[in-house]
Structure 1
Amino acid sequence: MILFTGSDNLMFEEFKKSMMVEFEMTDLGLMHYFLSIEVVQSTNGIFVSQKKYLREVLDRFQMKDCNPVSTPTEFGLKLDKDHEGKKVDSTLYKQIVGSLMYLTATRPDIMHSLFHGHPRSNLLSHCRLQKLNLFAATACACQAICLRKILEEPHFKQVGATTIFCDNNSTIKLSKNTVLHGISKHIDVKYYFLRDLNNDGVINLKYRRSEEQLADLFTKPLKLLPFQYLRKLMGICTLENLA
C-alpha cells in the first residue's frame, strides 16, 4: 500500500497538464486495470492485486478445484535431485513457474517456492557463509544508493543514513572494523565498499533477529505463524482488511 500527500497530488496534476500541452493525450482518470494488475485507489492508499489473472492461471492449468494451503512451501522440506527418476517433459512445469513469476508482482510471499531448480549442499564453511552475508549486505547497499539518487530527481532527497537490517553480527562488525583478519583475509576488496559507506554515513547496518528479517520470506520455508507475521510486515493483505 502506498500513501500520497496533498503536495504529491498537486505535483501529479501539474505534470499531467504539462504532458497534455506537449503531447496529444487524454486524461482517463484513475487507473483501475493495467497489464493484468487490478488497482483500487482510496484515501487509505493504493491497493494492487491480480485476482483475475490468478483465476485464469488456475483455469489454464486445471487447478481450480485444488485444496488451498496456508504456506507456499512445507516447513522443513528439502528437495534433492532424483538421478534415477524417469525423465519427463518439463515444458508444462516451466509454463506454470513462468505464470507464477508474474504473480510475484503482487504476491512476493510465494517467491521462495519458485526457486528449486538446482540442488545444493546443506553445509557451508564459515569463511564461505561470511562472504555470502557480506555480498548480500553490499548488494542491498548498492540498491539503496540507487534509490536515493532516483528520489533526488523529484526532490525527495534523503537526509541521514539508510538503515539496512542484517541478522549476522559478524557482517556488521566487519563493515565497521576491518581488523578482523581471521574473518576478512579471504574476502575480496570490493566488499570494503560496505565499510566506506558505513563510515561516510550513507548506510547504517543494524542487527535484526532472524525471526524479524523480511528476507527470510524469500529464502527459506517457514512455519505458519512466522510466515504470516513476515507477510503482514511486508504490507500484503486483502482488500477487506483496508475497509
Structure 2
Amino acid sequence: MPTFTEPTTIPNRSSSQRPTSAEPTTIPNTSSSPMPTSAVPLLIPISNPNLAIPNSSPQIPPLSFHPMTTRSKSGISKKKLFSTATTPDHLQTEPPNYTVASKYPEWRAAMASEFAALQRQNTWSLVPSSPSQNLVGCRWVYKIKRATDGSVSRYKARLVAKGFHQQAGVDYAETFSPVVKPPTVRIILSLAAQNRWQLRQLDVSNAFLHGYLQETVYMAQPTGFIDVVQPSHVCHLHKSLYGLKQAPRAWFERFTSHLLTLGFTASVADASLFVLKQDSVIVYLLLYVDDIIITGSDSTVVSNIISQLSTTFEVKDLGPLRYFLGLQIDYKKAGFFVHQSKYITDLLMKFKMSDCKPTSTPIATAPVLSTSASDSLADPTPYRSLVGALQYATFTRPDITFAVNRVCQFMHNPSSAHFVAAKRILRYLKGSLDKGVLFQPGPLTLTAFTDADWAGDPVDRRSTSGITVFLGNNPITWLSKKQHTVSRSSTEAEYRSLATGAAELAWLRQVICDLGLYLASAPIMWCDNTSALALASNPVFHGRTKHIEVDYHFVRECVVRGDICLQFISTDDQVADIFTKALPTPRFHRLCSKLLVCSTDHMFEGG
C-alpha cells in the first residue's frame, strides 16, 4: 500500500499561483518520514481531495520565482545594532543642570560653597515679591577644574543670573567694561624679560560679587537653596552677579577705584594697565576681568601689594606666571617663551582634526577665496565658531594672521570652500604646535614694518595692509587689515599702510610713556615703496595723489615732528609681506623665522 505525505502549505505564493476552489490548499500526510531537504513542496491539482500525492513522485514542476530583487536574494544583510549607551560620568564631565548635579555629593558641596560665599558677601536680601518687579531668573553653571596632568583638582559651581531677562533703563544702564589689549600684554612681557623681573599671577575668587550695583535688580531664589521660611520672596541684589549685563563694569569700577587708593595710576592709552611708582621702584599691573598679572623692579613691594589686595578681595596668589588666558609661558635662559600649544590642541580635538594631515602654509596661493561660491553652508555656526577661535590663536601666532583675516571676511555667508580654507589653518597649526614668540632682552627701541598688497582682492579690488612692530627684538603687535577704500595706485595703497602704521606707533609710544619709559630715538618705519617714501617727504601734491590728502597730512606731521623716521627696505626683507598675501612655502618660512621660534619641551598648563 503506498504511503502518503502530510498536508503542506506553500509560503509566499502570488495570487496568480493560488489554486482554484476545486484545488485543496493542503495535502494530508500520515507518514512520519521527513521530507528531503532538497525537495521543494508544491501544490499539485488533483481531482479527488481524499487522495494524496505519493511521496515517490519523480515529476516536480519547476518553481516560478517572483521577478522582484530583494536584499535577501542579493545576499545583503545588516546586523541589528543594540544600544550600548551608558550614563555619562558627571564627575568627569560637567552636568547639564541642577537635577543631574544634585545626585552627586561633590557637586552638592560645590554649590553649597558657592552659596555660602554669596551669603558672606551679602550679595542680596530677601524681599516680598511684587507684580511691578522685573524678576531675573538664575541657574547653576558647573565647571571641572583640572590640574596640569589632566586630573580633577576641584569642582566649581557658579550661580549665574539670566541677564537676558533684564530690561534696559529698568535694571541696567551702562555695560561697557575695558579689557587689556594684546599688545600691552606683550610689552609687559618684553620689559620683564629685558629687566629680568619676576612675573606673578593673581586670581580673584568670585570677582563679580565685589562690584556694587547702582540699579535695582530683583532675582529669583536659586534652585536648591530656597528659603524655607520665605519661599515666595525674591532676592534684592546689592552686588553684581555673574550673568548680569552690568556685572563686568561694576567689578572693574570697584577694583580700579581700590587700586587708586594704593597709589596706582591708570594708563591713558590702555585703561586696564596700572602703574605704581615709589621712588626708584616701579610696579606694573594688568587686569583682564578677574585675571591679574603683576610685575615690578622690587619683588618685596610686589608681595606687599598682593597682601594689601588680599585684605579687600579674595585673591589667590598663583605664583609665577605660567598659564594666562590660554597663553603658556615657559621660562628659558634667553627669556620667556610664550605659546598656545594646549589651546590649539584643544581646538583640534573640538573640530575632530587631531589626526589631520599637516600643511606647510596656512593658506594656499591659489585659488583665491571669493564670495562667488554658490554652495553656502546650511549651518554656518561651526564655521563661525572655528574662525572666532582662530582669531584668538593669533595672539602668539602672527604667521596665521593673514589667513585668519581672509576667512573672517566670509562670516556672513560662508561656503564649503571657505570652511576648507579655515580647516587648512588648523592643519597648518597641527604641524607647528611647537612654535611661539620668544621675549628676550634687547634695546628699548621701536621698529615698524609696513606693506600693502595693491588691489589684492579679486572681488572688490581693495588692498590689504600688513603691519608689524618690534620692541627691541620682540614682536609686540602685528596686523593684517583690508583697506576701507579702493586705492587707485600702489603708491596710495602703500601710503595708507604707512598711515595705519604711524597711528599704531603713536599709540604704542603713549603706552610706553605711561609706563614711565622714554625712547632714546624716534621709531623707524620700514617701507619697500619708494614712491610712498617720496610722498611722505615731498610737500608737493599732484593729481594722482590729492585724494589721499588726509593720510598725507597725518604721516607728514609725524615725520616733521620727529615721531617717526621712514626708511626704505627691499621687498625680499620686508617682514610685513607675510601679512598681506598668501606666500609660497620657501618665502613664508623665511619670514616666519623672523617672527617665531620653536620649542619642543613644552609643559601643558591649566585645564
2:299 matched to 1:13? Answer: yes
Cα 1:223–1:216 change in 2 (3 A) is: same
Rg larger in structure: 2
2:488 matched to 1:127? Answer: yes
Percent identity between matched residues is: 28
User: Residue 572 of structure 2 is aligned with which of 181, 204, 211?
Assistant: 211
1:64-213 equivalences under 5 Å are: 64-85=354-375, 87-114=377-404, 115-116=406-407, 117=409, 120-122=459-461, 127-213=488-574
Residue 186 of structure 1 aligns to a residue whose secondary structure is: helix
Q: Deviations over 1:61-101 (max 9, x none)?
A: 11111100111012343123335435532111111111111
- Please, what TM-score do these two structures have when normalized by structure 1? 0.86
Give the aligned partner of residue 598 of structure 2: 238
> In structure 2, how many angstroms separate the alpha carbons of the residues matched to 1:86 and 1:34?
37
Report deviation, 1:173: 0.7
Whether the 8 Å CA contact 2:502–2:555 is kept in 1: the answer is yes
Report deviation, 1:153: 2.9
Cα 1:26–1:11 change in 2 (3 A) is: farther
Cα 1:36–1:87 change in 2 (3 A) is: closer
> In structure 2, how many angstroms separate the alpha carbons of the residues matched to 1:139 and 1:170?
17
Residue 19 of structure 1 aligns to a residue whose secondary structure is: helix
Cα 1:189–1:97 change in 2 (3 A) is: closer
Which deviates further from its counterpart, 137-146 or 187-196? 187-196
Amino acid at match of 1:104: T
Which deviates further from its counterpart, 137-146 or 123-132? 123-132
Amino acid at match of 1:28: L
Whether the 8 Å CA contact 1:130–1:171 is kept in 2: the answer is yes
Q: Deviations over 1:15-61 (max 9, x none)?
A: 51452353225643311112221111232100111111111111111
Which deviates further from its counterpart, 111-120 or 186-195? 111-120
Amino acid at match of 1:163: I
- Please, what TM-score do these two structures have when normalized by structure 2? 0.37
The count of corresponding residues between Structure 1 and Structure 2 is 241
Cα 1:67–1:190 change in 2 (3 A) is: closer
> In structure 2, how many angstroms separate the alpha carbons of the residues matched to 1:96 and 1:182?
45
2:589 matched to 1:228? Answer: yes
Which deviates further from its counterpart, 223-232 or 119-128? 119-128
Amino acid at match of 2:299: E
Cα 1:155–1:239 change in 2 (3 A) is: same
> In structure 1, how many angstroms separate the alpha carbons of the residues matched to 2:301 and 2:549?
46
Which deviates further from its counterpart, 108-117 or 179-188? 179-188
> In structure 2, how many angstroms separate the alpha carbons of the residues matched to 1:63 and 1:214?
30
User: Which of the pair has the greater relative contact order for Cα pairs under 8 Å at 6+ separation?
Assistant: 1
Q: Higher helix fraction: Structure 1 or Structure 2?
A: 1
Q: Higher strand fraction: Structure 1 or Structure 2?
A: 2
Unaligned runs of 5+ in 1: none
